[in-house]
Amino acid sequence: MREIIFDTETTGFDPASGDRLVEIGCIELINRVPTGNTFHAYYNPQRSMPAAAEAVHGLSDAFLSDKPLFAEGIDELLAFLGDCPLVAHNARFDFGFLNHELKLCGRVEVSMDRMIDTVAIARTMHPGAKHSLDALCTRYGIDRSHRIKHGALLDAELLAQLYIELTGGRQIGLTLGSEREDQDRREETAYLAAVRPVRPARPHAATAEELERHAAFLATLDKPLWLDGLAPG
């Protein structure tokens, strides 16, 4: 089975407000194994890069100024994507930008039926834990020491390793399944302890008044069962 892991970098969060896709990186998997085939491209967004976005991925106006427009490389990208499932982290974000660019070019949008979201998988497997790419790489022992800034191809490479782990792959950290389950239980317990209020212990010893009332009640009972067989005192 062929799958494509992909990631994008953009000028912001919302294509509807004018943000554009500026980088895409894709990794090909066959039967959950990377083949070595990749696709990577930068695009001129035809707008300025906000400082906040540049701080995340480091792509400046000067760097992107001589890059092709998305429409100029669209056929090569679509040929690489093919018609197989597309895997992304927080996939609606990446699908949203990819389909916005396709729509601007007058091309057919990618069907959401092809979407596999690793955030959704992680939430099911690790409820209450952190689900960022960094946090999940740490959980699964995936080395990200070379990741200084976000980059589409680099993040797609990390995500490919994570996706393999999330779907029962190679267990990069060589952690036994039972140990992983124990760790998950410990983290879930810690999470629940953090979100649940701590209540002080309630008094559980009867007061003198309660004992007196209890004795008075017992005196009203006629031949209680628990006294059967006992010699009269």
Q: In order of start, what are the domains of the chain with their CATH numbers?
A: 2-192 (3.30.420.10)
Note the pLDDT tens digit of each residue in 107-121.
999 999 999 999 999
Does 228 carry a binding-site annotation? Answer: no
Q: What is the model's pLDDT at position 174? A: 47
What is the rounded radius of gyration, in angstroms, for the C-alpha atoms of the chain?
A: 30
Does 9 carry a binding-site annotation? Answer: yes
User: What is the arithmetic mean of pLDDT over 208-220?
Assistant: 85
Q: Which residues of 152-189 are buried (b: 16+ CB within 10 A; e: fewer)?
A: bbbbbbbbbbbbbbbeeeeeeeebeeeebeeebeebee
Q: What is the model's pLDDT at position 184? A: 62
Length of the chain in residues, anyone?
233
Report the C-alpha gap between 83 and 113 in whole angstroms.
11
Report the C-alpha gap between 6 and 122 in whole angstroms.
17
Q: Which residue has the higher pLDDT, 49 or 171?
A: 49
Q: Which residue has the higher pLDDT, 114 or 168?
A: 114
**Minimum mean pLDDT among 83-87, 115-119, 186-190, 214-218: which range?**
186-190
Q: Which residues of 76-99 are buried (b: 16+ CB within 10 A; e: fewer)?
A: ebeebbeeeebbbbebebbbbbbb
Query: Could you list the active site residues?
Result: 150
Phi, psi for 7 (deg, rounded to 5): -145, 155
Does 7 carry a binding-site annotation? Answer: yes
For residue 153, which amino acid is it? Answer: L
* Dihedral sign from CA coordinates of 84, 88, 92, 93: negative
Kindly tell me if the per-residue pLDDT of 197 is higher than 70: no
Does 19 carry a binding-site annotation? Answer: no
Report the C-alpha gap between 47 and 37 in whole angstroms.
31
Average pLDDT, the chain: 87
User: What is the arithmetic mean of pLDDT over 198-216?
Assistant: 78
Tokens describing residue 94: 């990446």
Note the pLDDT tens digit of each residue in 14-49.
999 999 999 999 999 999 999 999 999 999 999 999
Report the C-alpha gap between 221 and 68 in whole angstroms.
94
Kindly tell me if the per-residue pLDDT of 156 is higher than 60: yes
Q: Is 70 exposed, middle or buried (0-12, 13-18, 19+ CB in 10 A)?
A: buried
Q: Which helix (H) or strand (E) holds 117?
A: strand 115-117
For residue 211, which amino acid is it? Answer: L
Report the C-alpha gap between 87 and 155 in whole angstroms.
12
CB 57 within 8 A of CB 149: yes
Q: Which of 94, 96, 90, 22 is nearest to 56 (CA)?
A: 22
Q: What is the model's pLDDT at position 173? A: 47
